[in-house]
Structure 1
Amino acid sequence: MSRIEARFAQLKKEGRAGLVAFVTAGDPDMATAARIVEGLPAAGADLIELGMPFTDPMADGPAVQLSSLRALKSGATLNKTLELVARFRAKDQTTPIVLMGYYNPIHNKGLEAFIAAAKQAGVDGLIIVDLPPEEDGALRGPAVKAGIDIIRLATPTTDAARLPAVLEGASGFLYYVSITGITGAAAPDADVVAKAVGRIKQTCKLPVAVGFGIRTPEQAAAIARVADAAVVGSALVNEVGAAKTPDEAVTRVHGLVQRLAEGVRSAR
């Protein structure tokens, strides 16, 4: 059983949904980002989604775009992102880490080299936003062989005809994008999300995590009542952006994660 499978099995046993916390590697700098990531499980994150900084994050809103720019300005690279994962994994063998990003840096590093390095570092899954199912075969084969899940995205426009293609070869969990548009653009409607998740679960055997637009403990709780996990990203990287010092960035992110986790856990 993979770390992702084990974590969702644990959540099911506990009778609750999980909290997936997204932060960007290297934001605001690599040392501070490492402190943030290493403290996420204690703050209440059940899974960690780690952004790979990129110059053109087209699916992301201003908050995540700015986090990538801050990270790149501080010297973040794909190799340093993998080093951050390895540092985390040396201390934590159970919390799943999913890398989220775009294919260009992976292609630049070399697909086989990237997969080998990701496996060695302790990466559990990949969300590659700009690779549709029809185009991710070259990545999926080596990743699956290395035991790394390929996590696919479904959206409000993913209809019954499209969903089988999205699910083919997917593993770990399905990430349901609760709104049309970019990250952080609007708040999700829990009733609408509930109907969409119910429809998806008629076909999908994977856990369904819901993200985009979740900012508050109340919103996280509402999503936790209808999905297997709530994903929060823009609100967390906004805390980094608002901090005046590295210590404040760590405190602000962990504080919000703690409040979000309390919201998710209240939704049993």
Structure 2
Amino acid sequence: MGRIDSAFKRLKSEGQQAFIPFLMAGDPNLEMTKELVLEAQRRGADIIELGIPYSTPLADGPTIQRAAKRSLKNKTNLTAIFSLVEELREETQIPILLMGYYNLIFSYGLENFVKEAERVGVDGVIIPDLPLGEDQELRAYSNNLDIVLLVATNTTDRRLKAAAQNSSGFIYAVSTPGVTGAREDLSLEIKKVIDKLREYTGTPIAVGFGISKPEHVKDVHSFADGAIVGSAIIKKIEENLALLPDSEEEFIAKVGELIGELSGRDKG
């Protein structure tokens, strides 16, 4: 059993749901990303999503686009991200997923990507622009790397069933059509999709896109197995960049406070 499966099973036994923060690897730099991952775990995170920076991220809104640009200015690449995960594995066993676009992974080499990901301790991948049915080669190289598939409110029943049968680790349910980004109000239309998915699978389902407040997390936790928050955390990082490099501890604490509020079970 992998770390993602173990996390969801543990949480279910405790009557809880997963809190999954998204961080852009290399924003503001890889050293701070490492500290933010460890802080997120202390503040109640159960699983970590690390973004792979890309120059034209089609599914990402302006906040995460800016984070990707900051990361790319630091010359963050997959090799550096794999080294980061390898360092993190010396201090934590929290499940870690990489979220990125297929072109980067294809350019790195599918076999090399999977082999290195599994070697350093990456638990899963989310590839928004890799359609179900076109991922056989990636799957062929994987021994224990979870491939998390996305569904949305406009996904057909046929595709929902296929995603339910092929997604491992969990299923990523996109709460609202469009790109990532914090929203004032959270649409609960995705609940209907999750109800349908429950008919097909027992695989955990986590909801992302638009979740930005503690009350959003609570709402999602009332019908899903996990809540994913990205843009709200990235925005907090952006708002506190002026603290660096002189006040790194304060920077980590400011971001950590938000993560703790969102998780609802701060361990800091």
Deviation at 1:109, TM superposition (A): 1.4
The count of residues paired between Structure 1 and Structure 2 equals 261
Equivalent position SS for 2:130: coil
Query: TM-score scaled by structure 1?
Result: 0.93
Deviation at 1:31, TM superposition (A): 1.3
Match of 2:256 among 248, 254, 257: 254
Equivalent position SS for 1:53: coil
Q: Which residue of 2 aligns with 1:123?
A: 122
Moved over 3 A (4+): none
Contact 2:182/2:212 (<8 A) preserved: no
Equivalent position SS for 2:118: helix
Q: Which residue of 1 aligns with 2:228?
A: 231
Residues 185, 33 of structure 1: alpha-carbon distance in 2 compared, 3 angstrom cutoff? closer
Q: How does 1:26-65 map to 2 (within 5 A)?
A: 26-65=26-65
Equivalent position SS for 1:161: helix
Q: Encode CA deviations 1:82-105: one digit per residue, 9 max, x unaligned.
A: 111111111112x11011010111
Equivalent position SS for 1:5: helix
Residues 42, 96 of structure 1: alpha-carbon distance in 2 compared, 3 angstrom cutoff? same
Q: Which residue of 2 aligns with 1:103?
A: 102
Q: Encode CA deviations 1:90-143: one digit per residue, 9 max, x unaligned.
A: 1112x1101101011111111111111111110000001110012111112212
Distance 2:255 2:182 in 1: 20
Contact 1:193/1:226 (<8 A) preserved: no
Distance 2:252 2:103 in 1: 29
Q: How does 1:1-268 map to 2 (within 5 A)?
A: 1-93=1-93, 95-143=94-142, 145=143, 147-184=144-181, 186=183, 187-190=185-188, 192-243=189-240, 244-246=242-244, 247=248, 248-262=250-264
Percent identity of equivalent pairs: 39
Deviation at 1:263, TM superposition (A): 7.2
Equivalent position SS for 1:91: coil
Contact 2:24/2:50 (<8 A) preserved: yes
Equivalent position SS for 2:167: coil
Tell me the C-alpha RMSD between the 2 structures: 1.6
Distance 1:193 1:105 in 2: 29
Deviation at 1:151, TM superposition (A): 0.3
Q: Encode CA deviations 1:36-61: one digit per residue, 9 max, x unaligned.
A: 11221111101000001111111011
Distance 1:193 1:108 in 2: 34
Contact 1:61/1:185 (<8 A) preserved: no
Residues 194, 164 of structure 1: alpha-carbon distance in 2 compared, 3 angstrom cutoff? closer
Q: Encode CA deviations 1:200-225: one digit per residue, 9 max, x unaligned.
A: 21112200000100001111111111
Contact 2:40/2:256 (<8 A) preserved: yes
Distance 1:18 1:241 in 2: 25
Deviation at 1:185, TM superposition (A): 5.9
For 1:150, the aligned partner's letter is I
Distance 1:20 1:237 in 2: 13
Contact 1:210/1:230 (<8 A) preserved: yes
Distance 1:226 1:240 in 2: 29
Distance 1:6 1:66 in 2: 34
Deviation at 1:176, TM superposition (A): 0.2
Larger mean CA deviation between 252-261 and 228-237 belongs to: 252-261
For 2:262, the aligned partner's letter is L
For 1:132, the aligned partner's letter is P
Distance 1:178 1:117 in 2: 32
For 1:193, the aligned partner's letter is I
